[in-house]
């Protein structure tokens, strides 16, 4: 097995001075890989040199991954304090007193005493069952309301007070939502985890988060070719076929996926690519410590941005909403199109 010296992996400093690896490993199996396949990949990734793992209760695999963490500690592969372990609060646990229940289950499943970070997975309580179809709608789905969200966030803050969580953050937040949220926080989010890749670079979001000392974590950093069918449309960009990436990859003698990884780390956001194939997740982490992109190549990729969101999140639409664009506040303000209270 090829390995990488974890100490050579670049790190990013958080607002409180804590350090986190500049690349992590995602653990969402995209409805295609079993919990056992994902957890086995996590164990081998620890052996290879990964120290940051991005998980969530909704992925349905925390119990198996917890067994892997316990095994890695007992095998002496790594100490608990050497890993940065992140999980997320699922949408059906936003209610009063639900957050503590949710994190307690996650800690039990992962066999941990604390999480390094805990994120609110989506900024509303819109729930869908695993494997939901593109037209599935939960009748209780609703748009974002700051008063409701802050009730959840205040519970998140208490987890920090209790020592159960070191850092808290958000996911899938837009700039308008953050602008409503941040002035009301006692403890501000350390992360915002959102879709970012060369075809959807989210510069406005990235720069705003940076101005607020919020680190951007990128899910689907390679364009998520294996994303659920419900999120695919015929005109979606195939990121791995973008000519700019193909040309740069050819010049470096690597797959375009590794150019996406290099670009992310050099730009300053944290990619969390997922794979169950050892050769792929080794190559992903090895890419960040060798053969960097030139300034010219970084600029070529910047100009290649297509503003093409691939993860539409259609299953979270509320009754009366027109389409997936309503979720993402594209007009610069909270979008509640079609909502009737």
What is the tens place of the pLDDT at every residue in 262-283? 999 999 999 999 999 999 999 9
Give the Å distances, CA to CA, from 201 to 157, 257, 260, 307. 30, 15, 11, 7
Q: Answer left, alpha or beta for residue 338, where phi above 0 means left and psi between -120 and 50 means alpha.
A: left
Check residue 140 and give its pLDDT. 78
Residue corresponding to tokens 């095998």? 75
Between CA 337 and CA 21 the distance in angstroms is 39
Q: What is the DSSP string of 189-253?
A: -SEEEEE-BTTB--HHHHHHHHHTT-EEEEESTT--TTS-GGG--TT---GGG-HHHHHHHHHHT
Between CA 261 and CA 275 the distance in angstroms is 13
Residue 97, classified by CB atoms within 10 Å of its CB into exposed (0-12), middle (13-18) or buried (19+), is exposed
Place 134 in a pLDDT band, splitting at 50, 70 and 90: low
Q: Answer left, alpha or beta for residue 164, where phi above 0 means left and psi between -120 and 50 means alpha.
A: alpha
- What the block records as the tokens of 281 is 């997740």
What is the tens place of the pLDDT at every residue in 180-230? 999 999 999 999 999 999 999 999 999 999 999 999 999 999 998 777 777
Residue 177 has pLDDT above 80, yes or no: yes
Give the Å distances, CA to CA, from 252 to 67, 189, 242, 278, 307. 38, 37, 16, 21, 25
Closest CA to 312 of 330, 324, 320: 324
For the residues 230-246, what does the mean pLDDT come to?
Answer: 91
Check residue 231 and give its pLDDT. 77
What is the tens place of the pLDDT at every residue in 76-128? 999 999 999 999 999 999 999 999 999 999 999 999 999 999 999 999 998 76
Place 131 in a pLDDT band, splitting at 50, 70 and 90: low
- What the block records as the tokens of 219 is 């899910």
For the residues 41-53, what does the mean pLDDT come to?
Answer: 98
Are 268 and 12 in contact, with CB atoms under 8 Å apart? yes
Between CA 214 and CA 282 the distance in angstroms is 28
The per-residue pLDDT of the chain, averaged, comes to 95
Residue 25: its H or E element: strand 25-26
What is the CATH code of the structural domain delimited by 6-327?
A: 3.20.20.100
Q: Is 59 a catalytic residue?
A: yes
Q: Strands (DSSP E) along 272-311, which ranges?
A: none
Q: Where is the binding site for substrate, in residues?
A: 121
Percent of all residues in the chain with a pLDDT value above 70, rounded to a whole number: 97
Residue 133 has pLDDT above 70, yes or no: no
Q: Where is the binding site, in residues?
A: 121
Between CA 262 and CA 243 the distance in angstroms is 17
The full set of domain ranges for the chain reads: 6-327
Catalytic residue among 33, 43, 50, 59: 59
């Amino acid at each position: 097995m090829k390995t990488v010296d974890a100490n050579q992996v670049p790190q990013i400093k958080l607002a409180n001075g804590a350090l986190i690896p500049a690349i992590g490993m995602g653990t969402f199996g995209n409805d295609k890989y079993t919990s056992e396949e994902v957890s086995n990949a996590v164990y081998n990734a620890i052996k290879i040199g990964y120290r940051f793992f991005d998980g969530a209760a909704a992925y349905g695999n925390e119990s198996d991954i917890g067994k892997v963490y316990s095994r890695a500690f007992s095998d002496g592969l790594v100490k608990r304090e050497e890993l940065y372990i992140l999980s997320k609060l699922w949408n059906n646990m936003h209610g009063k007193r639900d957050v503590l229940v949710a994190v307690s289950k996650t800690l039990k499943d992962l066999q941990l005493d604390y999480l390094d970070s805990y994120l609110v997975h989506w900024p509303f309580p819109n729930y869908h069952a695993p494997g939901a179809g593109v037209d599935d709608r939960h009748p209780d789905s609703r748009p974002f309301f700051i008063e409701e969200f802050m009730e959840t966030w205040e519970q998140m803050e208490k987890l920090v007070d209790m020592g159960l969580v070191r850092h808290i953050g958000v996911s899938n937040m837009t700039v308008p939502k953050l602008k409503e949220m941040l002035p009301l926080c006692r403890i501000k989010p350390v992360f915002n985890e959102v879709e970012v890749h060369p075809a959807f670079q989210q510069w406005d979001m990235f720069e705003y988060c940076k101005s607020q000392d919020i680190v951007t974590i990128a899910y689907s950093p390679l364009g998520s070719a294996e994303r659920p069918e419900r999120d695919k449309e015929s005109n979606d960009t195939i990121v791995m076929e973008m000519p700019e990436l193909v040309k740069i990859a050819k010049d470096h003698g690597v797959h375009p996926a590794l150019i996406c990884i290099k670009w992310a780390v050099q730009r300053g956001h944290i990619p969390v690519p997922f794979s169950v194939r050892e050769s792929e997740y080794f190559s992903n982490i090895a890419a960040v410590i060798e053969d960097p992109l030139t300034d010219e190549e970084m600029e070529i990729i910047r100009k290649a941005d297509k503003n093409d969101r691939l993860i539409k999140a259609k299953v979270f639409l509320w009754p009366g909403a027109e389409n997936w664009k309503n979720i993402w506040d594209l007009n610069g303000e909270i979008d509640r199109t079609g909502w009737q209270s």
